[in-house]
Structure 1
Amino acid sequence: MTTMRRFWTAAGLMVLMTSVAQAQDAVRPAPEAATGFTEREEVTSETDMVVAAHPLAAEAGARMLREGGSAIDAMIATQLVLGLVEPQSSGIGGGAFLIHRDAASGRMIAYDGRETAPNAVGPDLFLDDSGQPLAFLDAVVGGRSVGTPGTVRLLELTHRLHGKLPWAQLFQPAIELAEDGFPVGERLAALVEGERETMRQDAIRDYFLPGGQPIAAGDTLTNPDYAATLRTIAEDGASSFYEGEIAGDIVAAVQGFEANPGLLEESDLADYRVLVREPVCAPFRAYEVCGMGPPSSGALTVGQILALLDHFDLESLDPLSAQATHFFAEASRLAYADRGLYMADPAFASVPTRGLLDPSYLTARAQLIDRSRAAEAVSAGNPPWREAAQRAPDRSLEIPSTSHVSIVDGEGNAVSLTTTIEAGFGSRLMVRGFLLNNELTDFSFVAEEDGATVANRVEGGKRPRSSMAPTIVLDASGEPVLVVGSPGGARIIPYVARTILGVLLWEMSPQDAVSMPHVTTLGGPLDLEEGRAPAGLADALTAMGHEVREMELNSGIHAIALEGGRLRAGVDPRREGAAVSSGDVSQGD
């Protein structure tokens, strides 16, 4: 097997966003961290594979596979290390969506570990005293934005159902690294430098800004508090996180941040449950593209984009031609219009899941796409099986943080996990060595517009809408052929959809597919990846009526293609991830 070296590359800074009341495309989106683009060699394996956003995390997962663990065991070890070495993106203070495919039974299950809103919150959570939406960072920094974390419960439940190794064994790689230390990479160092002004809590400043100075690339960073927290959970199970001293400290941090306190209570933590759901599967050519349904918009919107594009002969086109890009953009705009109106937590809003993927409905929507001209405006459609309630579109922002893990073990079990604390560094609150999420800012800040309700409004106990799209693609015989997902906020959807097109339609290797120059739209302007778009593409698209922008689009796509017993990895060249198998020696640092 080809091994993967570590790539530490240059990093950039986040842009401060002004207000969630603004439409998404009114704000120039910023990557969580710009790391440039480093070409990657393809990584293959005949046995198993872990692809994750950091070499140490991928190695931790591969270690569990060497020790006889399952894909779920590897996922747990990987996630716990990610919470240490990539703390700004995910961790035990956040939430996750996971798709698991069991090789023996062929059954696929979706696990919803999304954070929930505290029961005490209401629709005015993110409004100021005059009833206007708060500026985004005013809402984020502090306890107000913190939802009930779901990740630890998800890890425990999936281990109980699919794990092979002892629970405590899975914690050892992260505990060892937390105690012995790990080298700070350029990406983390640059992010800390860019966020130093938002780090106002003593605990987070002491860790990331020791002595008032930000940690630097190459520093060795230890986290004994995180190690102690993990030891407690390893010994006493997830209940020790959701009840008792850890839960009390979480609530104290949330409620005690005087500048922006939150409403999370210990009862919210004690009552949290992971939900087991059926995956949402959408047909595409001879395949089934399966992922996370509501409260995520990921599977539905990816499925709609692919179904709309199925009406056009894309395989005959150059993936980076103006015509292929036009079709992709127009399909995305139509899908995002439906997403904004209909998709939310199905326990609180009736989501027409069946109608949104109905072939007749999507055929009618595809007929709205002009082959040579961008539509001046797009609006949501009227899918069958929808309620008659009047709704307003959701304009909430989603920040491009998060992390994705793809795993296939030696028995063929597959895991696609997308995991997050929402924005980089979440709420900027640190407790016992881990960061707390700011997931509640994924809700709409306003509950209604012009008398019509927003499906994704804030409500107690509700799970905010997400764009996370952990995906497993099955062939006509029901066997997995692709495991994929990405971070990237609302742009996760086009990142994942384009990668699927690359592998299934344009017959690219997964590495070439994840390395393709990005094309995204959230329903408005068409965004091309800065410095990587082919010459003349922007001009050709502009001539077709598109409003074109070039910007940094920093994904973190991780994919595994399964081809007759051979695994081929796609590691996003825009970040520092790695693909590792149990046959590799430690990737180390």
Structure 2
Amino acid sequence: MFKPLIALSPLALFISACVDAPTTVTSTPDPVAANSEGAVSSADPRATAAGEAILAKGGSATDAAIAVMLALTVVEPQSSGIGGGGFMVRAGGEGGEDGVTTLDGRETAPIAATGTRFLDEEGDRLPRELRVTSGLSVGVPGNLALAAKAHEKYGNLPWAQLFEPAIALARDGFVVNRRLHASLSGRKEHAGKTEAARAIFFGADGEALPVGAKVKVPELAETLERIAADGVGVFYEDSAEEFAAYVAGETPQDGLMTAGDVMEYQAKEREPACVRYRVYKVCGMGPPSSGGVAVGQMLGQLERFDLAAMGPQSVQFWHLFLESQRVAYADRELYIGDEDFVEVPVDGLLDRSYIASRSALIDPDKALEEALPGTPPGAPLARADGDEPVENGTTHFAVVDANGNAVSYTSTIEGAWGSGLHWGGFYLNNELTDFSMTPEVDGKPVANRVQGGKRPRSSMAPTIVFDEKGEVVLVIGAAGGPTIPVQVARSIIGVLDFGMSAEDALNLPLIMAFGQVVITEEGSVVADLVDELKQRGHEQIRVIAPRGKTNALRRIDGGWEAAGDPRIAPLLSYEPDQEPASESAVNAP
């Protein structure tokens, strides 16, 4: 054994849930220029060290990425882990067309799940806490299956070696940093929902363990040791019945998870979503992720503008960037879903002529009154817009090895602490809340509606950028729910158009349009441009605390620049004499 709320708009939910940032943006440490042996960037230095150790042993980028994912299961349990899923984009000579391979480890709904899973008998949404913190939200985890599939194709080292750093962290213990403490303190009921979790992360007084405390997770160490020794069948076969029974026992209605759901899970190879942007090729994840398409559309729509001449201080650039988001996200809501269940016109959405037609909607001087979806080649008819789920428990990491193979991997349990359910030493996802809550609108089906065995749409956007010679120049991705494609596109523009280092590009402000409402970060250049943006028609602008979580590797002379988001850098300290993390840092995804 491994041992009713007031309905809020997607924007309100995002602002209330995505509070993973200090109140001020500070500079990051000096970027790390790695030698030709490779480089790793992740959201926790202990996970980065795990990946670097694997590279030092001759491991491939895939080997190192798996080690990072496993280590983050231990030290960043609020954001990702083997209880969730992810997407991997890989570039290398052994890959598919043009050397790019994308692997889908997104979670699946139980076969018995129905479109009214999150609705009550009257057709109204169940209270949010019931939807999120119960078995209703738990999908069959995919990260282990993704790791096994990737390792089989691209691994160099023995499978068991990849688990060694994570096992050591879980068995011997790791120190609570400010970010983990803040998330535990801010979500005590959620993070401490189960007795097993409370025993690990909370003291006898019921309070979160302090910064500097050492945590051991022996049950997780045991789980990892078994999977390391005997493979992922330990989870997907040997423990399928027990795992499914636990989730089913926490599920109040609709289709229950069964052992068959777990045993039948498969990670899948998907077609990459690639676009040309100036002289570069940008490749990301296709459906069920919307990230690759959204990033590609935003960049493609902006290609006709001389962004380099405008620069990051220009209100003109930020206006255009906002408009590109609004146009791209209108398509995203209507068309993107699990392509095993719905027809997704990816080629049409990324068609250069179609993107040019969408770009033509963008007025350099004035905001669109309303951004509506277009009709790309191959578009299905009679489909309705869905609602916008909010993801906030996610992490990203990037790896390049000595042979130039690159991996961009985004891993998630959806919300901070996922469902709050804890099994086998790890937290379980609440990924099924990424489905649209309503299956139909005006009698038309929603692409992202709940269906048995289906994978919910995601915003994750692991991305790799190639230069005109076909060499990898940037490996990037982000966390932060619907802001993920925006963070990635913004940072790509920073590097490619503005000539920034990865460090500086990740430090560019977040600005995002939620329909007619725009959010941006206090203390940023955009916050100083609010009046000018309003003059261009962006009338509803909310200036909020900084947030975001992007990681990247940028090719430089002699190696790689490894960069992490400066917004979380102050929270990675685990010195007990540090000032407590601010409330705006709580629930770091």
Matching residue within 34, 39, 43 for 2:27? 39
| CA positional deviation for 1:260 | 7.1
Matching residue within 208, 214, 220 for 1:220? 214
Query: 2:83 aligned with 1:89, yes or no?
Result: no
Matching residue within 380, 392, 409 for 1:387? 380
Work out the CA distance in 2 between the residues paired with 1:578 and 1:170: 27
- Secondary structure at 1:38 match in 2: coil
**Deviation string for 1:11-30 (max 9, x for gaps)?**
xxxxx99547x444676353
Matching residue within 566, 571, 574 for 2:559? 566
Is the 1:184–1:220 Cα contact (8 Å) retained in structure 2?
Answer: yes
Q: Which residue of 2 aligns with 1:49?
A: 39
Report the TM-score when normalising by structure 1.
0.92
Q: Which residue of 2 aligns with 1:330?
A: 323
Query: 2:482 aligned with 1:482, yes or no?
Result: no
| CA positional deviation for 1:577 | 9.4
**Deviation string for 1:493-538 (max 9, x for gaps)?**
1000000000011110111100112222243312111222356301
| CA positional deviation for 1:462 | 0.5
Is the 2:439–2:449 Cα contact (8 Å) retained in structure 1?
Answer: yes
Q: Structure 1's 114 and 535: CA in aligned 2 closer, same or farther, altered over 3 A? A: closer
Q: Which residue of 1 aligns with 2:267?
A: 274
Work out the CA distance in 1 between the residues paired with 2:172 and 2:522: 39
Work out the CA distance in 1 between the residues paired with 2:490 and 2:537: 22
Greater mean alpha carbon deviation, residues 183-192 or residues 413-422: 183-192
| CA positional deviation for 1:548 | 1.1
**Deviation string for 1:431-467 (max 9, x for gaps)?**
0100110000000010011111110000001110001
- Secondary structure at 2:506 match in 1: helix
Work out the CA distance in 1 between the residues paired with 2:253 and 2:194: 11
| CA positional deviation for 1:169 | 1.0
**Deviation string for 1:63-113 (max 9, x for gaps)?**
011111111111111111100000010000100100111146661100000
Q: Which residue of 1 aligns with 2:247?
A: 254
- Secondary structure at 1:416 match in 2: strand
Work out the CA distance in 2 between the residues paired with 1:30 and 1:452: 30
Q: Which residue of 1 aligns with 2:193?
A: 200
Work out the CA distance in 2 between the residues paired with 1:517 and 1:411: 34
Is the 2:14–2:390 Cα contact (8 Å) retained in structure 1?
Answer: no
Query: Quick one: percent identity of the two aligned structures?
Result: 44
Query: 2:145 aligned with 1:153, yes or no?
Result: yes
| CA positional deviation for 1:271 | 0.3
5 Å-filtered alignment, 1:59-458, equals: 59-103=49-93, 107-198=99-190, 199-211=192-204, 212-245=206-239, 247-257=240-250, 263-388=256-381, 390-458=382-450
Query: 2:486 aligned with 1:498, yes or no?
Result: no
Q: Structure 1's 485 and 44: CA in aligned 2 closer, same or farther, altered over 3 A? A: same
- Root-mean-square deviation (CA, aligned residues, Å) is 2.0
| CA positional deviation for 1:262 | 6.8
Is the 1:249–1:431 Cα contact (8 Å) retained in structure 2?
Answer: no
**Deviation string for 1:285-305 (max 9, x for gaps)?**
011110100100001010000
Count of paired positions: 561
Work out the CA distance in 2 between the residues paired with 1:578 and 1:102: 34
Is the 2:107–2:455 Cα contact (8 Å) retained in structure 1?
Answer: yes
Is the 2:398–2:553 Cα contact (8 Å) retained in structure 1?
Answer: yes
Instruction: Give the aligned residue type for 2:136.
Output: R
- Secondary structure at 1:481 match in 2: strand
| CA positional deviation for 1:407 | 0.5
Work out the CA distance in 2 between the residues paired with 1:235 and 1:18: 48
Instruction: Give the aligned residue type for 1:33.
Output: D
| Residue segments in structure 2 that go unaligned for 5+ positions in a row | 573-589
Is the 1:185–1:217 Cα contact (8 Å) retained in structure 2?
Answer: yes
**Deviation string for 1:347-404 (max 9, x for gaps)?**
111111111112222222112111111112111111111122x111111322222000
Is the 1:31–1:553 Cα contact (8 Å) retained in structure 2?
Answer: no
**Deviation string for 1:240-275 (max 9, x for gaps)?**
111123x33322321222767972111111000010
Work out the CA distance in 2 between the residues paired with 1:38 and 1:26: 26
Work out the CA distance in 1 between the residues paired with 2:517 and 2:242: 44
Greater mean alpha carbon deviation, residues 438-447 or residues 167-176: 167-176
Work out the CA distance in 2 between the residues paired with 1:125 and 1:432: 26
Q: Structure 1's 62 and 26: CA in aligned 2 closer, same or farther, altered over 3 A? A: closer
Q: Structure 1's 575 and 470: CA in aligned 2 closer, same or farther, altered over 3 A? A: same
- Secondary structure at 1:188 match in 2: helix
Is the 1:487–1:557 Cα contact (8 Å) retained in structure 2?
Answer: yes
Instruction: Give the aligned residue type for 1:100.
Output: R
Q: Which residue of 1 aligns with 2:581?
A: none
| CA positional deviation for 1:317 | 0.5
Instruction: Give the aligned residue type for 1:30.
Output: A
- Secondary structure at 1:573 match in 2: coil
Greater mean alpha carbon deviation, residues 28-37 or residues 68-77: 28-37
Q: Structure 1's 27 and 90: CA in aligned 2 closer, same or farther, altered over 3 A? A: closer
Greater mean alpha carbon deviation, residues 219-228 or residues 533-542: 533-542
Q: Which residue of 2 aligns with 1:539?
A: 531
| Residue segments in structure 1 that go unaligned for 5+ positions in a row | 1-15, 580-589
Work out the CA distance in 2 between the residues paired with 1:477 and 1:500: 18
Report the TM-score when normalising by structure 2.
0.92
Q: Structure 1's 320 and 265: CA in aligned 2 closer, same or farther, altered over 3 A? A: farther
Greater mean alpha carbon deviation, residues 225-234 or residues 105-114: 105-114
Q: Structure 1's 567 and 258: CA in aligned 2 closer, same or farther, altered over 3 A? A: closer
Is the 1:332–1:522 Cα contact (8 Å) retained in structure 2?
Answer: no
Q: Structure 1's 134 and 296: CA in aligned 2 closer, same or farther, altered over 3 A? A: same
